[in-house]
Structure 1
């Protein structure tokens, strides 16, 4: 089984989990296709991995700065060359599930085995992911960090714990964590908005005096 077939099975499994235990077959809406609002908005690009941060500066799913999160960023190139640059595996999982009828042509992730910043991209097939280590996660409580070499991944594991897996298992972990991560992110953003409103109200009161 090649990676594309394995990816489809992972996506269908994720759809089954999201459907609350329904079978993957029952969760698929035959013939509906991908809704227009979910199609990646950037123009087709045969080389999206060249200067990807400049071309895709913001994650389309959460709005986070991909330059700031260069180490966790991901880039998907679909079969029609439409690119989707995200901040993390969490948001890449969203892209892949929303575009289930669009075949991934290539998928890249930030290579934490490389020195310097920003981290270069590495094909996910060549990466080893460290899942559940002490390293802080991006858009997730259970971190999933990619390394371009197995040696670097093992060194990170020795220092931080966690489990070493390949991309398909890391993607499945992202889907498994999705419900808890979304709930946590929603609460954090609500608290941030509340704090900003309180600060604005306080500033307005000071201005009146």
Structure 2
């Protein structure tokens, strides 16, 4: 292979990789993308759980409507007094990772034991979770649904399957699902580049 052909081949491969990057940037499906960190630090609020949807109408990381996802929404209150409203435990996991050294004062989650049209918040760390049931997940294929009482979680498990878990196990499941989504995204991107390279070489 002469130098010109080698150069053209290198540019072709680089072009394929660049195109794949553009395609990745244009893909906005929530199940396959990691949320971006918030750009501005919110003001301190001593009672962020009061009218939390009014204060935090959109997820601080993925931008999803927290009223629409009231049943899975979470609210994180950090020790410095600031709070972040998110759509789900997946985005809560992102917030906790990015703010690892700040410490939390309180964590709230939508209470699916309640019959209200908009689920009220309950203490996320004392809630019982149903993981991997037939209920639809938010930002993940494997659902994670919170209940303020173990009895309500048991009843939901009987109807929808899944496994009961405490907050720590549910958070671990969220991180596991994020890792699996990242691995799948990387694999899909590599396969896409290979397909484009093959087409360009034909």
**Under a length normalisation based on structure 1, what TM-score does the superposition of the two structures give?**
0.68
Q: SS of the residue aligned with 2:107?
A: strand
The alpha carbon displacement at 1:42 in A equals 2.0
Rounded to whole Å, the distance in 2 between the matches of 1:84 and 1:151 is 29
Q: CA RMSD in A?
A: 1.9
Structure 1 runs (4+) greater than 4 angstroms displaced: 37-40, 182-186
Quote how far apart the aligned CAs of 1:173 are: 0.4
Structural mapping, 1:1-40, within 5 Å: none
Give 2:137's aligned residue. 137
Correspondence 1:8-157 to 2 at 5 A: 41-157=41-157
CA pair 184-86 structure 1, distance change in 2 beyond 3 A: farther
Q: Which segments of 5 or more consecutive residues in structure 2 lack a partner in the other structure?
A: 1-36, 187-202
How many residues matched?
Answer: 150
SS, match of residue 75 in structure 1? strand
Following TM superposition, by how much is the alpha carbon of 1:182 offset from its aligned partner in structure 2, in angstroms? 5.4
Q: 1:100-126, CA deviations, whole angstroms, 9 ceiling, x for partnerless residues?
A: 011011000000000022100000122
Q: How far apart are residue 39 of structure 1 and its match?
A: 7.3
Distance 2:70 2:150 in 1: 20
- Contact 2:132-2:162 at 8 Å conserved across structures: yes
Quick one: structure 1 residues 178 and 170, their matched pair in 2 at CA, closer, same or farther if it must change by over 3 Å? same
* Counterpart Cα distance in 2 of 1:131 and 1:78: 26
Give the equivalent residue in structure 2 for 1:194: none
Higher Rg: 2
> Quick one: distance in 2 between partners of 1:69 and 1:46?
24
Question: Which stretches in structure 1 are left out of the alignment for 5+ residues?
Answer: 1-36, 187-209
- Alpha-carbon separation, structure 2, partners of 1:134 and 1:166: 19
- Cα deviation for residue 180 of structure 1 reads 3.2
Distance in 2, Cα, partners of 1:62 & 1:185: 17
